[in-house]
Structure 1
């Protein structure tokens, strides 16, 4: 079994990137009291690499998880330090049901750090003002020749990354719950989906053209794509009608039963015909 206990984390000094910052941020999710050292001093690193209670990440030239050493630079086949840390401590960092979704975020950090799949070439096609999560973290760097200032900025970057990690965990748990709800959805005879929770991503499934789901003011009917079909204007005649968007992409009524009855009258659409 991999070791989990440590009292110190060592990473490299000078310029920092998303992988070392997020690696540290993920460790704080379950161990906030560790000592942090940023250095490339060989004496310190050699000592730390041998101490099984010191995590060494993104520096040191060794990947030995049983000794809590997580560098990747010595082997291009390895993922980034953030991925190595996550792989080792995943159950401590993120609840298991949310892990498939949280791992999508970690994989992006890995791509940006290692340029797998020539991700930088793809980013070149985007507007100059576009910022990746790696760009945002790099923005915390200041004078790389001033170690005191850089250590301060690194900690600010970690604080920023901690909030992002918390957000990603929240949405990963939410996505897991919504996926469960989607799998259990009721489907009307005309292939309209009935969901018990608001699901922002139901359209990406392309299983239905229309879906009924909760709204802050009642229940809504949404169209997946208004070029295929729209929520008809006749919904305004329903009891408890509240609102219809001018584009016809959605409309809201007060009661679920009214929404379901109206949705049942909509044109049947099969996903494979669109």
Structure 2
């Protein structure tokens, strides 16, 4: 598959068109970027298979590299359409389920999937998501040169986000594979030989013991459910306990496991 140019719309940009271009850049494609709604340019580009058109043009036809979604509300956003078509070149197979969540969040905000705007209205004012952050690169939409420059900055920023999310997704995939090999103490505390990034999502344990840069740590799944008791500070090789009670660090693994094995499933009042 090859294409020499990518066309998307001009004026204001959103996370889906920015992220779609960033995904293509990350996959290693080299292309000229054109931002326009000129009908003649779009008509020509839609008809040839070496131009990729996204988020504009009114056509979804991946065989012709056309990835617009506005003509059909059931379609994913431009980011989702491009990711689904090129994901084998972007993300390792075992990490796709996690990286896909990142892209799905952009889709939801761009298309108001599942009435996401109503949910968003319940969050604290000033709270930002990927769509809001990337949209923040917009400046004066009547100044094409400025907007083209800002679009480029947003794409560069999005590429860094992709790298971060791919790293996180790969770690989660590794943790998912290792999860079944955890040790479970008689009181249901989980012990992991490698740091797990998925154990809290499973909601099968209130406490977990995991590696830490300064030794070993114990975490709670949620401080609204339980906290690490303050008396952990009396143990030998104690390093620190976070004031919220969500975690504490001990240098010696066996000391920490002995402490953890004596915890109730729900540990005392905060």
The structure-2 alpha-carbon separation of the partners of 1:8 and 1:202, relative to structure 1 and needing over 3 Å to count, comes to: same
* Aligned residue number for residue 10 of structure 2: 13
Shift of 1:127: 3.1
Query: What CA deviation, in whole Å up to 9, does each residue of 1:31-76 have, x standing for no partner?
Result: 2421111111122111111211111111111111011111111112
Q: CA RMSD in A?
A: 2.1
Contact 2:56 2:68 in 1 (8 A): yes
Alignment of 1:30-69 (within 5 A): 30-69=27-66
* Aligned residue number for residue 24 of structure 1: 21
Shift of 1:118: 1.8
* Aligned residue number for residue 257 of structure 1: 254
Query: Is 2:91 the counterpart of 1:94?
Result: yes
The alignment of Structure 1 onto Structure 2 pairs a total of residues equal to 266
Q: Give me the whole-angstrom Cα distance separating, in 1, the residues matched to 2:180 and 2:215.
A: 23
Aligned partner (choices 212, 219, 224) of residue 222 of structure 1: 219
Query: Is 2:195 the counterpart of 1:198?
Result: yes
* Aligned residue number for residue 186 of structure 2: 189
Q: TM-score, normalised by structure 2?
A: 0.90
The structure-2 alpha-carbon separation of the partners of 1:262 and 1:131, relative to structure 1 and needing over 3 Å to count, comes to: closer
Q: TM-score, normalised by structure 1?
A: 0.89
Structure 2: which 5+ runs fail to align? none
The structure-2 alpha-carbon separation of the partners of 1:215 and 1:5, relative to structure 1 and needing over 3 Å to count, comes to: same
More displaced stretch, 201-210 vs 102-111: 201-210
Query: What CA deviation, in whole Å up to 9, does each residue of 1:163-207 have, x standing for no partner?
Result: 111111111111111222222211122211111122355334221
The structure-2 alpha-carbon separation of the partners of 1:196 and 1:109, relative to structure 1 and needing over 3 Å to count, comes to: same
Query: Is 2:144 the counterpart of 1:147?
Result: yes
